[in-house]
Structure 1
Amino acid sequence: MGRGVADAGRATARAGRATVRAGKATAGGTARAGKATARGAQKVGQATRRLTYANGADRTGLGRLIELTAGHSGGDALVTVALASTVFFGVPVGEARGPVALYLVITMLPFALLAPFVGPILDRFRSGRRYVMAGTLFGRGLLCFAMAAAVGPGDLPTLFVGALGVLVLSKAYNVSRAAIMPNVLPADITLVSANARVALFSLISAGVMVPVAAGLTAWLGSAAVLRTAMVAFLLLGVLAVRLPRHVDSPELEEEEAGGRPLRWRTLLNVGPAVAEAVWANVAIRLFSGFLLFFLLFLVQDKGVPWLAVRDPFFDIPKTIALLAAAAGLGGLVGAMVANWTRNHSPQLITLLTLAVTGAITIVAAVFFGLWTAVAVSLVTAFAQELGKLALDAIVQREIGEEVRSSTFGVVEAVLQLAWVFGGLVGLVLSLAESSAAGLITLAVALTGAFGWLIVRRRQRIRAARLGAEGQSQDLVVRDPDEQDTDVRDQGAWGQGADRRDQRVDTIDSTKPLTNPHG
């Protein structure tokens, strides 16, 4: 018996030593895997930094602005996923329409009320735009803290108000960021390319954070994700303050002498080129909001043909994931194409995006199915991203810096209102559970908007050219003394013929939108 006990003891000792060796091997493997992951992350970070700082973006501050905006987009993605699990999918479909409609209405009203004030106020603080951007990030961090506290008790009013505040501050950040873009533009990068680079990294950041946020939400809950977003926004606010000082614009002399009133901007006084681009983007944004909520509730109600036949391969979650992936891919492709089209006219780009959206909508209405739904989601996101980048470049080129934030404020508000209105229309039409009715209605609206813009564009070009030709003939008939007197009498308008030529060039400009100070 003693020998058996001794053998058992030796076996136990050997097993213990084997366990220790296995633990050491596991620890070593874990450490090596951790080091490999760290090295991979470092390489990815270095490659990303090379891309963001390319073409002189490191010297002008564009690279830092790209990184800051990418972080801003990732934080917004965290908030969106956290709120989606509490508002949109946390209740049955029939009960979800009410909260969603309430959210859309609450979203619409403040933009209608605040739009006239946000832009002019930002114009008043051109010399402190870094601090304005930081303030929007700090504010979102505090709102995330409040929403995290409201998740547990299910305080929907607090969640709605917090989500609204995050949305408004996010738009204010975008307005400030777009307004300062010419200040950080390198000499060899066009405005469309710079906007596309910012959008591309923002989309990538959001695309990475969405699955991360979904995993954290499933693991830790929505409150934890909102607290994570709070920390991210606070850190980003510190980075915003550390942007280069030339991001801020010096005040004009007349402002320093006596101050100035708020300068209001509306679509009636932004100029024909900007107005045309805005209306094209309004049509696309309206359809984008419609498509999101129309397809979302149509799928959840099983009002689509591939779910009505109970196809085991495509259930509701898979269909929603596929449509979301198509929309994300479309936005990414739109940003990439915007970078490729840097030397082409942004006015033509906005009209082409509207035409493409209308065409794919007609196809989807006639041949509606899973893959046409995927195609229309992809093309709509592509057109929305490309058209918005072209619109930003037009505003940055056409509008003076003293009212640029005001103009961007009006543009962002109008586009947001269009998206909300489209979402409400999609919400209502989804009750009919008929895909054809909704898509045909929007296809007719998009086609009509495109035709109206084309007619107005042709009339404007014809009038501008006739005016320029008439002025030129008038100068030829008159003697030199009369010409000089006429030019002097034009006062603040300046050289009439030259200005008219410039307006014609603005309508059909195909020159690259480069930094004039580069």
Structure 2
Amino acid sequence: MTLARDLARLWHARGFRRLTLVRLLSQTGDGMFQVGIATAFFFDPTEAATPGQIALGFAILLAPFTLVGPFVGPLIDRWQRQRILLIGNLVRTTLALTIGAVVLLDGPSWIEYGLALLTLSVNRFLLASMSAGLANVVPARELLAANAIMPTLGTIAAAAGAAVGGVVTLVVPTATDSSLALAALVGSALAFSSSAWATTLLSRRQLGPTEPLAALHLAAQLRALASELASGVRYLHRRVTPLQALSVMAAQRLLYGMMFVASILMSRHVLGDPAHPEQSIGEFATVLGFAAVGFGTAAVLTPWLAPRVGPHRWIVGALLLGAGGQALLAASSARWALLSAAVIVSIAVQGAKIAVDTIVQRDTADDFRGRAFTLYDVAYNVAFVSSAAVAALLLPPTGYSSAVMAGIGVAYLAVAALFSRAPRVPSPA
């Protein structure tokens, strides 16, 4: 099996092993945290959980970070990335426990939203740092395999963490929303603190940057950050291939985000019973579990097929596969259709992401890599917020519309057609 061989080969690199451990623990906590806030925000039986409310939730959680996110990239190129991971996970531990206390005490929802915003913002900072640092712990020729393995294992770990919440609802069906959310949040805090410990196994300079930018006074640093971000955008534009890869990722995330919102609503109104949130959460956890199967399959297929056809053609193929998955959901709202689409679309999304990560890392110099992956995260957030807004306009309260699902499939085909004409070789910078 290609995945097993690639993992066995990469496992000899101590830095890769330790960074993988950091990511697995961190994203296991992500999955638990997402179940906690989903329970608190989206499956409350006293709330209608309409497409508009979910869109508002995504906007509150992601849009503010999108405004400050561009300044994160220069910081990733300025600060030691190992310290970012250590301090960031300790901050997330504190925030998760604080949200748990607010839920337990039935505090105001705006406080929960604000703290969740901070936690998710730090999470995107950490993921961008890990992606930027990966190229410093594996040889350049192994980047494709490393991008297939590490983020995919992290995504599976997140799905496993989310599945724990679903198991809790089955084992303790009489548990209240607040107790389910609290258990998930405490579990996430334990995982975040474990990830902070694992970060100490990496040396301070191991993840780069190789030449940290000099520290400046606050005013001068803000001016420098803006200048460095602008130079990063100009660099990606001149290189062409990284910017086009980021654009495809954003388009695919927008389409995937619409299906994600539909899955939340369908788990509540089609597969579950709005009066029994524990059943809805269990159904949504099942959808996430099937998505994890797709992510794992992408990790096996991508290192085997992508080198043979090239990352650009692989991305086009993944987009076509995504269109096929959406066609199933357009044909039926049955449970089998949603779960099948979850597997197929997840293969497409994760397979394309692996190739996009590789293109960005391969075609971007280390001095600009932090900025590149922060722009990646900003595009991700904008796409997800936009998907929620579009879903609020197009989806019915139940979350299912055959016409909308078919339209998403057509959009996949359009993006595939556009990217098939994109250049394969980066321009000199």
2:408 maps to a residue whose letter is: L
Q: Distance in 2 between matches of 1:290 and 1:337?
A: 25
**Rg larger in structure:** 1
Q: How does 1:115-130 map to 2 (within 5 A)?
A: 115-125=69-79, 128-130=80-82
Q: How far does residue 350 in structure 1 lie from its aligned partner after superposition?
A: 1.6
Residue equivalent to 1:410: 375
Q: Distance in 1 between matches of 2:142 and 2:166?
A: 36
Q: Deviations over 1:233-287 (max 9, x none)?
A: 22321321331343233327x9699x99331133862632112222222222111
Q: Distance in 1 between matches of 2:95 and 2:215?
A: 35
Residue equivalent to 2:137: 184
Residue equivalent to 1:163: 116
1:124 maps to a residue whose letter is: R
Asked whether the equivalents of residues 163 and 286 of structure 2 are also in contact (C-alpha less than 8 Å), the reply is no
The answer as to 2:191 corresponding to 1:232 is yes
Residue equivalent to 1:336: 300
Which of 406, 415, 420 aligns to 1:454? It is 420
Q: Distance in 2 between matches of 1:76 and 1:207?
A: 9
| Higher RCO (CA-CA < 8 Å; seq separation 6+) | 2
Asked whether the equivalents of residues 93 and 297 of structure 1 are also in contact (C-alpha less than 8 Å), the reply is no
Which of 377, 400, 405 aligns to 1:439? It is 405
Percent of pairs with identical residues:
22
Residue equivalent to 1:496: none
The answer as to 2:86 corresponding to 1:134 is yes
Q: Deviations over 1:91-131 (max 9, x none)?
A: 35625555423211113322331132010121111xx2110
Residue equivalent to 1:486: none
Q: 1:214 to 1:281 in 2, by over 3 A?
A: same
Q: How does 1:320-359 map to 2 (within 5 A)?
A: 320=284, 322-341=286-305, 343-344=307-308, 345-359=310-324
The answer as to 2:148 corresponding to 1:196 is yes
Which of 28, 31, 43 aligns to 1:77? It is 31
Q: Distance in 1 between matches of 2:49 and 2:380?
A: 28
Q: Which runs of 5+ in 1 are unaligned?
A: 1-49, 308-314, 462-501, 507-518
Which of 199, 219, 242 aligns to 2:201? It is 242
Q: How far does residue 154 in structure 1 lie from its aligned partner after superposition?
A: 3.9
1:135 maps to a residue whose letter is: I
Q: How far does residue 427 in structure 1 lie from its aligned partner after superposition?
A: 3.4
Q: Distance in 1 between matches of 2:268 and 2:209?
A: 50
Which of 294, 319, 326 aligns to 2:262? It is 294
Q: 1:154 to 1:453 in 2, by over 3 A?
A: same
Q: Distance in 2 between matches of 1:76 and 1:104?
A: 16
Q: Distance in 2 between matches of 1:436 and 1:390?
A: 30
Q: How far does residue 72 in structure 1 lie from its aligned partner after superposition?
A: 0.4
Tell me the TM-score normalized by structure 1. 0.69
Asked whether the equivalents of residues 81 and 213 of structure 1 are also in contact (C-alpha less than 8 Å), the reply is yes
Which of 263, 266, 272 aligns to 2:233? It is 266
Q: Distance in 1 between matches of 2:96 and 2:158?
A: 17
Please, which moves more after superposition, 405-414 or 356-365?
A: 356-365
Which of 374, 378, 391 aligns to 1:426? It is 391
Q: How does 1:304-383 map to 2 (within 5 A)?
A: 320=284, 322-341=286-305, 343-344=307-308, 345-366=310-331, 369-383=334-348
Q: Distance in 2 between matches of 1:318 and 1:145?
A: 23
Q: 1:343 to 1:110 in 2, by over 3 A?
A: same
The answer as to 2:109 corresponding to 1:172 is no
Tell me the TM-score normalized by structure 2. 0.82
Asked whether the equivalents of residues 77 and 370 of structure 2 are also in contact (C-alpha less than 8 Å), the reply is yes
* 1:210 alignment partner, SS class: helix
C-alpha RMSD of matched pairs (Å): 3.3
1:429 maps to a residue whose letter is: L
Q: Distance in 2 between matches of 1:241 and 1:88?
A: 36
Asked whether the equivalents of residues 250 and 379 of structure 2 are also in contact (C-alpha less than 8 Å), the reply is yes
Residue equivalent to 2:18: 64
Residue equivalent to 1:282: 250
Asked whether the equivalents of residues 258 and 387 of structure 2 are also in contact (C-alpha less than 8 Å), the reply is yes
- How many residue pairs get aligned? The number is 400
Q: Distance in 1 between matches of 2:248 and 2:114?
A: 30
Q: Distance in 1 between matches of 2:363 and 2:45?
A: 47
Residue equivalent to 2:211: 251
Q: Which runs of 5+ in 2 are unaligned?
A: 274-278
Q: Distance in 2 between matches of 1:228 and 1:299?
A: 23
* 1:89 alignment partner, SS class: coil
Q: Distance in 2 between matches of 1:216 and 1:369?
A: 25
Q: Distance in 1 between matches of 2:188 and 2:329?
A: 38
Residue equivalent to 1:205: 157
Q: How far does residue 438 in structure 1 lie from its aligned partner after superposition?
A: 1.1
Asked whether the equivalents of residues 285 and 415 of structure 1 are also in contact (C-alpha less than 8 Å), the reply is yes
Q: Distance in 2 between matches of 1:503 and 1:205?
A: 33
The answer as to 2:178 corresponding to 1:223 is no
